[in-house]
Amino acid sequence: MSRISIHLTVPSWVWPIWAWRRTPSSTRPPLYRFSALTSGDGEGSEPGEHQATDQADPPMIAEFALPGTDALGRVFLTWTPVQAQVRLVNAVGSAAVPVTIRSAGTGGRWRFATTRTHLGTPTLSLSLPASSAPVRFFVAGEFGRPSAELGDAAIEVRGAVNVDVLGTKPVTVRVRKDAQTLSSAERDRFLAALATLNGGGSGRYKRAEGGTTSRQAHGCS
């Protein structure tokens, strides 16, 4: 194995820093440079000098393919199990990577399975190919644990060996709720959505004090 030594080369001249700063960048000499000297064991060559770089391989990550995505990229799922996919990107080597999918976040919770079932578990172990081929799984919101905020129920992928987080996707467990038990934030979002749907007051639902109202809007035929 070659032995690598790192040297810091400093110019032999001494130049005040204020003068160096005033010199145009095109003619400004370097303050320092790094070089890596390797003991040469290659054929037909002597130990060479190589410029050191900061480039590194991109990290391995996991990417999701989830249904229920809106135009803004937000994902809304319910208590009904749906099919999803996960795959590796920038995998190292050719061996499959064992991972664990789990429910994360501060609000809604998830259940996972390899088949369409309501009997999912909070975590799911999968083996993801290094070729980036997607692996199918099923996900559903945990009954009784809906979201209280947008994206508060994240789906997370961790390596089964080094337990590093490989990917996280914020998702919302969207279900029908009782209007009497909504939080203040949920109530405000509901009223804002209703106002948008009603065209800012120009739609079917109008103020009782002014204008005509639709009898159907009040449950009349």
- My answer on whether 133 and 45 are in the same domain is no
Q: How many domains does the chain have?
A: 2
- My answer on whether 76 and 142 are in the same domain is yes
Length of the chain counted residue by residue? 221
**pLDDT score recorded for residue 177:** 66
- My answer on whether 12 and 115 are in the same domain is no
CATH no. for residue 153? Answer: 2.60.40
- My answer on whether 68 and 90 are in the same domain is yes
- The count of other CB atoms within 10 Å of the CB of residue 152 is 18
In a domain, 9, yes or no: yes
Pairwise CA distance, residues 75 & 84, whole Å: 12
In a domain, 209, yes or no: no
- My answer on whether 41 and 104 are in the same domain is no
Smallest CA-to-CA distance from 98 within 138, 129, 121 is with 129
SS3 189: helix
- The identity of residue 17, as a single letter, is I
**pLDDT score recorded for residue 20:** 44
- My answer on whether 39 and 108 are in the same domain is no
- The count of other CB atoms within 10 Å of the CB of residue 68 is 14
Q: Where are the alpha helices (DSSP H) in the chain?
A: 17-22, 184-197
- My answer on whether 80 and 105 are in the same domain is yes
**pLDDT score recorded for residue 159:** 92
**pLDDT score recorded for residue 182:** 72
In a domain, 199, yes or no: no
State which residues form the domain around 39: 4-51
- My answer on whether 14 and 78 are in the same domain is no
- My answer on whether 67 and 168 are in the same domain is yes
- My answer on whether 16 and 87 are in the same domain is no
**pLDDT score recorded for residue 123:** 95
In a domain, 152, yes or no: yes
In a domain, 143, yes or no: yes
- My answer on whether 29 and 104 are in the same domain is no
Pairwise CA distance, residues 207 & 26, whole Å: 71
Mean pLDDT by runs of 10 across the 221 residues of the chain is 47 45 53 42 48 70 91 90 95 93 90 94 95 96 87 92 89 77 75 76 58 53 51
CB hemisphere CA count around 147 (13 angstroms):
23
Give 7's strand partners.
35
Give 125's strand partners.
100
